Homo-oligomer: A and B are copies of this chain.
Amino acid sequence: MRIAHIAPVATTIPPPKSGSVETMTSLLTEGLVAHGHDVTLFATGDSRTTARLEAIYPHGYWHDENMWPWELYEMLNLAAAVERARDFDIIHYEAAYYPMSLAFARLSPTPIAQTLHHAPSDAEVRLWSHYPEAPFVAISNEQARLLAGLNVVATVLHGIDTASFTFREKPDEYLLFLGRFTAGKGVLQAIELAKRVGMRLILAAADDDYYREKVAPHVDGRHVVYYGEADFDAKVKLYGGARALLYPLQAREPFGLVLAEAMACGTPVAALDCGAVREVVDDGITGVVFQNLEQMANELRRAFDLDRRRVRARAVERFGVERMVQGYIEVYGRLVEAHRG
């Protein structure tokens, strides 16, 4: 198939450090090329890919404050693909922020599939339902439920490059929180938990206002340690050394890439039952899903006792990138077929 894959243009594909949408976009693009598809990636000029790269910007707007408002940069990157729609069998838009691709749904002679990367509000879904025919690919059944009323053509869980997440059998004696510092990710609950069980907690994420206001006062450099934002190699080391990844989620997140990544290093996760957690974690095998923080504090050891080899094996089985790539190829095929018919 001739596939146009539209990345966000905030930073490079793959991203220099954090960036789950950029990481997933890169893995999917490379996987599609490996399957012999004719892939054009619309992304920033400093991206690295084996696909054909179409770039109208040399770099992303995270790196250039003159590139503002960013929305128009995203729009014109997407428009560049739609303008050449007849060169492609399918256009796939990674909606890092919102599905602006809907604006092109009825203007493009080629079908546009969109993958959403957040948990939409009711008002958002109401707006999007002006385009009930536009095909969405959900990243979890949790997200698919939120998209009720729209044309959700499939659920394809994210994949990760399991080979690059090194397995480690014997961890160190610390707990890990990795992800953005937001109320929804539950960093304050992770700190409370670590204090209650008397274990060292390492926090790894980019600092921001929320960190400075809410998190930093708890950081003492001994019991609660702030690592900073981890690049890929550092992330793998941090995962591998942790007794468990803490994921005391407070908001209905649609996926949770850090869960799969930690598991691929053999590190079990201790998570609250929220959002898509039960779709990613196999309770009692790759981690433990707790009902509340109280239970998590009392029974955290259950996560430590899980067999790290088995955690790794299950993660590889379920979150290998190949499954994700196959999932998208199947969806694309169906959409192209339906469009021809």
Contacts and interface: CB of A to CB of B under 8 A. Distances in A.
Interface in A297-312: none
Nearest to A122: B66
Nearest to A84: B106
Contacts of A234: none
Contacts of A79: 102-104, 106-107
A338 interface: no
Contacts of A78: 103
Nearest to A65: B123
A127 B73 contact: yes
B107 A104 contact: yes
A69 interface: yes
B72 A127 contact: yes
Contacts of A98: 69, 71-72
A56 B72 CA distance: 22
A295 to B, nearest CB: 35
Given A75-B75, A76-B103, A123 B69 contact: no
A173 interface: no
A147 to B, nearest CB: 15
Contacts of A69: 71, 97-98
Contact of A121 (B66, B104, B121, B130): B66
A67 interface: yes
Interface in A31-83: 56, 66-69, 71-73, 75-76, 78-79, 82-83
A100 interface: yes
Interface in A132-166: none
Contacts of A75: 75, 100, 103
Nearest to A83: B106
A68 B123 contact: yes
Contact of A83 (B97, B99, B107, B123): B107
Contacts of A104: 79, 103, 107
Q: Which of A72, A103, A108 has the most B CB atoms < 10 Å from its CB? A: A103
Nearest to A79: B103
B106 A67 contact: no
A86 to B, nearest CB: 12
A127 B102 CA distance: 22
Given A56-B130, A67-B123, A107-B107, A100 B72 contact: yes
Contacts of A121: 66
8 contacts: A66-B122, A67-B127, A72-B103, A73-B127, A78-B103, A83-B107, A103-B104, A107-B108
Listed from nearest, the 7 A-B pairs whose CB atoms lie closest are A66-B123, A79-B103, A75-B103, A83-B106, A107-B107, A71-B71, A72-B98
Given A69-B97, A76-B103, 11 more contacts: A56-B130, A66-B121, A71-B71, A71-B100, A72-B99, A72-B103, A75-B75, A75-B103, A79-B102, A82-B107, A104-B107
